Structure 1
């Protein structure tokens, strides 16, 4: 298994992977929704505001994650991890966790201080994420399930309070994802 940074050239492969994985696990509507999100994110990958990593095994594309920049008034480097997909026949084998750890290591080398995500606390706690109060770091939009807002410090310091409402990349600026 190997991991690498992906670029805009991977748009079709990324869209297909996410659409398929989310359709299989969450149904056709969710597959279409996340496929559209990934298509938009993929077309804007710049390795700064939108960073994408992929996992390959024996030449096959089996998993991917996105990290997108959250912007605050103060200059603090915070990224959000979402979405994550592993091909259905490779799920349950630790592929996603290994890919997330790889991505977090890469972000740490870029001096990123904090990573947030919005998802299943049971899954993301396996790679170090913990519940994050919106009084510590607010989500960019209103959360439908606040218990899914999670954070992880990539420094020696704990996640510190940021007294500011962040803005997210355009693709995530839709209440349907929150």
Structure 2
């Protein structure tokens, strides 16, 4: 298995991974929503704002994680948002997701990113160092339908700084229905 940063030439495979994984776990409608989100992020987000990490085995994309900036007005810490992330159903439970995230977080840390945030399953993300954050201390771009899924991780070794104001996210994520 290889951990690779980037998505050039692999957009269709990454989008299909999200569609298939979320269809298997959440149903066809959710599979289409997340695949559409991934497609829009890959197609519409400026390359300078996009960090894609993927796991491949035998030429197949078996995992992918997409990070984009989350910019808090007038605040200095560099924050990246992980959304979405998926591991192929037949590769789950083998450490692919954890390995891919460790690789991604190390790369972001080396880039000077101070905080990584995500909105997902607390049980999974806690395994790689994410902790629950409150929307009052670290506001999300939209109202959260499941506030317990708002999670963060400092990449500096210090505590996650308090942030304020409504952050600006990638255009593809600036939709209330994905929050």
Whether TM-score is above 0.5 comes out as: yes
The corresponding residue for 1:98 is 99
- Give the length in aligned residue pairs: 178
**1:37-91 CA-partner distances (Å, limit 9, x unpaired):** 0110111354531211110112221110001100122232001111111111111
Where do 5+ consecutive residues of structure 1 fail to align? none
> 8 Å contact 2:45–2:171 — kept in the other structure?
no
State the match for 1:21 in structure 2. 21
The answer to whether the Cα contact below 8 Å between 2:45 and 2:170 also exists between their aligned partners in 1 is: no
Matches of residues 28-39 of structure 1 in structure 2 within 5 Å?
Answer: 28-39=28-39
Mapping 1:148-167, distance limit 5 Å: 148-167=149-168
Distance 1:148 1:120 in 2: 6
- Alignment partners' CA distance in 1, 2:71 and 2:108: 16
Corresponding residue of 1:175: 176
8 Å contact kept, 2:55–2:63: yes
Indicate the RMSD between aligned Cα atoms, in angstroms. 1.2
CA contact (8 A) 1:6 1:52 kept: yes
Q: Distance in 2 between matches of 1:67 and 1:115?
A: 9
What TM-score does the superposition give when structure 1 sets the normalisation length? 0.95
